[in-house]
């Protein structure tokens, strides 16, 4: 029997593709590199995200490692593609929109800008999977809320690559 | 194979559609479903007999007290205890372990003492000992789990022989591996060295014959809700001579002998450990559940479960990339199978099964150290009770094949 419509909405082809073949997998090291970690104690899913902040305060490089369900890993993969090259302000706005879209709470300002991340919208019908879908993005949102560019400079004073 | 499918008529909840499919409930190791007989007993109690126990002299209180205490006698008989005074009602397995980990440990445990438990315990039989040990400077040691999901019994005996072990706490049936531990042997080894024993019977009572005196455990704990009784009621069996050495746990009504402003004296067990108004309806529900199970016959239920898990294990082996944790056939197993499937995360699998009406459990099953031991993030688990059928096993396997195709 064919999978149900809800299931196909949750596990869209793009999500299955990214869970099987995650993009931007790996670690980043070096000064000015930010690190966020998401962990869901209820299911044990983990994701680590590294962001290299460029001289203009933009996401110069972003990578992730993790283990968990298709939803959490595909979401992390899609997020890294979306945030690559954006300014930190844009990244914050994208993540806020992404979380508003998935939770159904708050205003989504620029839904189109979310691009393929919209594929995660199917979790609306699976509320218990919301934490999976936002595991990486919530961790990065928290990291960026702490004004990370300045944070990085303070951690590595005098380092030319910090800014 | 005993055919118990007619009993499904007793379970109203089983006759419903989930996600447009007939419900296939395979999560009884987490909580069993309740037959009409148990639900009716609760309604009857609240409609006819509801009153507080042990205090009133009026008719309703007398009725409630008589039913409540009759269940204590019934539980004692069900477990093979020597006396109803050895049966303490708790909220469940977790509370039973915590009661001993607090009362016994506070009284008897000293710095440097060892509590011995195992690497396959549910968190509820791990964390209370860690807390108790950290309070007094005692140490918790763990018997390793072998690759086939059984305990390293040689290591267990060697640890016991080291001499500082004061208490051994061990699960009877593993909720993640399905392993049935040789608890009678384990308790005999412990007894020979003067080590106090506690056995976690959460997955055994109501599924297989359990006789606490044949096992030789000092303490034995279980939850009612896994054997058709309501949630919130459980039992701590304690050997009478040992209970008599323990101070009270919670203070309050019901557990006192006399109270003055200068101090109080306390009743003996079991009242000593049952402060406050108990879960009277829960106890009566537990009695109805045990009646129900005994009418079927625990041996019949056990036999049905063995055949169902045997068929399940054989059919699961046909699913591509599937690996069952715990003892392989033909070893004795409990009626559950926790497994991993290459390339498919347990939560995705459980989600998929749910859209086909199948209730599985996915995750670490409150045994995180065990998941680390087997290097898996979690597993999917199908667990059965006597109301499950071979058709449901076939349906599970059919859906697993579909899921593998969908996710790979």
Burial environment of residue A38 by CB neighbours within 10 A (0 to 12, 13 to 18, 19 or more): buried
Residues A12/A13/A15/A17 CA torsion (nearest 10 deg): 170
Same domain flag for B107 and B252: yes
CATH of the domain at B376: 3.90.1150.10
Q: What is the CATH number of the domain that holds A51?
A: 3.90.1010.10
| Alpha helices, H only, B270-321 | 280-296, 298-316
* Whether residue B103 sits in one domain with residue B79: yes
Torsion angle, alpha carbons of A10, A11, A15, A19, to 10: 120
Distance from A127 to chain B by nearest Cα, in Å? Answer: 12
B131 and B276 belong to one structural domain:
yes
Same domain, B142 and B11: no
Domain contains A78: yes
Nearest CA among B332, B299, B140 for reference residue B209: B299
Domain extent, residue B331, equals: 5-30+298-407
Q: A14 lies in a domain?
A: no
* B366 part of the active site: yes
**What does the alpha-carbon distance between residue B383 and residue B309 come to, in Å, rounded to a whole number?**
9
- Does A15 touch chain B if contact means CB atoms closer than 8 Å? no
Q: Are B186 and B312 members of one domain?
A: no
B304 shares a domain with B210: no
Gap between the Cα atoms of B263 and B26, Å rounded: 52
The Cα–Cα gap between A5 and A3 comes to 7
**Kind of pairing, strands B256-260 and B263-266?**
antiparallel
Number of domains, chain B: 2
Residues in chain B: 408
Which residues 6+ apart lie within 8 Å of A45 measured at CB? A38, A39, A66, A67, A68, A69, A72, A132, A135, B347, B377
Residue A12 lies in a domain: no
B407 CB near a chain A CB, below 8 Å?
A: yes
Sequential pLDDT tens for chain B (408 residues) = 789 999 999 999 999 999 999 999 999 999 999 999 999 999 999 999 999 999 778 999 999 999 999 999 999 999 999 999 999 999 999 999 999 999 999 999 999 999 999 999 999 999 999 999 999 999 999 999 999 999 999 999 999 999 899 999 999 999 999 999 999 999 999 999 999 999 999 999 999 999 999 999 999 999 999 999 999 999 999 999 999 999 999 999 989 999 999 999 999 999 999 999 999 999 999 999 999 999 999 999 999 999 999 999 999 999 999 999 999 998 999 999 999 999 899 999 999 999 999 999 998 889 999 999 999 989 999 999 999 999 999 999 999 999 999 998
Q: What value of ipTM does the predicted structure carry?
A: 0.82
Domain identity same for B112 and B143: yes
pTM above 0.90, yes or no: yes
Whether the CB of A120 is below 8 Å from some CB of chain B: the reply is no
Is residue A13 included in any domain, yes or no? no
Residue B35 lies in a domain: no
B179 closest CA partner among B285, B328, B345, B319: B328
Total domains, chain A: 1
CB neighbours of residue B397 within 10 Å: 20
Judge if B89 and B215 occupy the same domain.
yes
> Would B260 be classed as within a structural domain?
yes
CA torsion B314-B320-B321-B322 (nearest 10°) is: -30
Residue A3 located in a structural domain: no
Say yes or no: B406 contacts chain A, CB-CB below 8 A: yes
- Identify the H or E element spanning A92: helix A88-103
Q: Which residues from chain B sit within 8 angstroms of residue A12, using beta carbons?
A: none
CA distance A81 to chain B (A): 22
CATH of the domain at B61: 3.40.640.10
Longest dimension (CA), chain A: 63
Residue B340's φ and ψ, nearest 5 degrees, are -115, 155
SS3 B115: strand
Distance CA B220, CA B203 (A): 12
Decide: A151 and A137 in contact? Cβ < 8 Å: no
Is B111 a domain residue? yes
> Rounded to whole angstroms, how far apart are CA atoms B393 and B318?
13
Say if A2 is an interface residue toward chain B (CB within 8 Å). Answer: no
Q: Which of B136, B170, B228, B366 is catalytic?
A: B366
For chain B, counts of helices (H) and of strands (E): 13, 17
Task: Select from B259, B275, B293 the last residue of a domain.
Answer: B293
CB-count exposure of residue B47 (10 Å: 0-12, 13-18, 19+): exposed
* pLDDT tens-digit readout, B153-202: 999 999 999 989 999 999 999 999 999 999 999 999 999 999 999 999 99
Angle at B97 between CA B309 and CA B84, to 5 degrees: 90
CB pairs under 8 A between A and B: 51
3-state helix, strand, coil in chain A (%, to 5): 55, 20, 30
B324-353 residues touching A, CB cutoff 8 A = 343, 345-348, 351-352
């Amino acid at each position: 029997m064919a999978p149900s419509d809800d299931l196909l909405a949750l596990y869209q082809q793009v999500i299955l593709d990214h869970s099987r073949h995650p993009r931007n997998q790996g670690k980043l090291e070096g000064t000015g590199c930010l690190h966020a970690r998401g962990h869901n104690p209820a299911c044990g899913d983990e994701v680590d995200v590294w962001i290299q902040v460029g001289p203009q305060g933009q996401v110069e490089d972003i990578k992730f490692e993790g283990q968990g369900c298709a939803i959490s890993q595909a979401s992390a993969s899609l997020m890294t593609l979306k945030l690559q090259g954006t300014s930190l302000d844009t990244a914050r706005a994208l993540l806020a929109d992404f979380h508003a879209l998935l939770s159904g709470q708050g205003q989504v300002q620029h839904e189109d800008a979310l691009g393929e991340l919209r594929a995660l919208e199917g979790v609306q019908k699976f509320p218990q999977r919301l934490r999976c879908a936002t595991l990486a993005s919530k961790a990065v949102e928290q990291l960026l809320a702490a004004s990370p560019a300045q944070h990085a400079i303070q951690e590595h004073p005098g380092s030319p690559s910090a800014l | 194979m005993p055919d118990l499918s007619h009993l499904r008529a007793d379970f109203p909840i089983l006759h419903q559609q989930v996600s447009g499919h007939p419900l296939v409930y395979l999560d009884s190791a987490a909580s069993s479903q309740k037959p009409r007989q148990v639900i009716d007993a609760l309604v009857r109690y609240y409609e006819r007999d509801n009153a507080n126990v042990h205090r009133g002299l009026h008719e309703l209180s007398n009725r409630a007290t008589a039913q409540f205490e009759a269940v204590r006698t019934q539980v004692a008989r069900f477990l093979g205890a020597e006396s109803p005074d050895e049966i303490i009602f708790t909220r469940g397995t977790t509370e039973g372990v915590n009661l001993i980990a607090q009362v016994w440990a506070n009284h008897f445990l000293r710095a440097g003492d060892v509590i011995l438990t195992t690497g396959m315990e549910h968190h509820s039989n791990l964390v209370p000992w860690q807390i108790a040990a950290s309070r007094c400077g005692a140490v918790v040691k763990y018997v390793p789990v072998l690759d086939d999901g059984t305990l390293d019994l040689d290591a267990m005996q060697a640890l016991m022989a080291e001499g500082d072990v004061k208490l051994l706490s061990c699960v009877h049936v593993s909720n993640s591996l399905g392993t049935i531990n040789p608890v009678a042997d384990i308790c005999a080894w412990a007894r020979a060295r003067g080590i106090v024993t506690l056995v976690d019977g959460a997955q055994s009572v109501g599924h297989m014959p359990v006789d606490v005196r044949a096992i030789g455990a000092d303490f034995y704990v279980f939850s009612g809700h896994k054997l058709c009784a309501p949630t919130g009621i459980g039992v701590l069996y304690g050997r009478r001579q040992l209970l008599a050495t323990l101070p009270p746990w919670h203070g309050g009504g019901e557990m006192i002998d006399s109270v003055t402003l200068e101090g109080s004296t306390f009743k003996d067990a079991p009242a000593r450990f049952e402060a406050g108004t108990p879960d009277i309806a829960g106890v009566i529900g537990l009695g109805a559940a045990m009646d129900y199970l005994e009418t079927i016959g625990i041996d019949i239920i056990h036999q049905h479960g063995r055949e169902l898990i045997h068929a399940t294990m054989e059919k699961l082996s046909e699913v591509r990339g599937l690996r069952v944790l715990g003892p392989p056939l033909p070893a004795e197993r409990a009626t559950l199978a926790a497994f991993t499937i290459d390339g498919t995360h347990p939560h995705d699998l459980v989600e998929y099964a749910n859209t086909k009406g199948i209730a599985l459990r996915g995750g670490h099953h409150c045994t995180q150290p065990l998941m680390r031991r087997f290097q898996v993030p979690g597993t999917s688990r199908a667990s059965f009770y006597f109301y499950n059928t071979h058709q449901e096993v076939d349906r599970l396997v059919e859906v697993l094949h579909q899921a593998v195709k969908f996710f790979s």
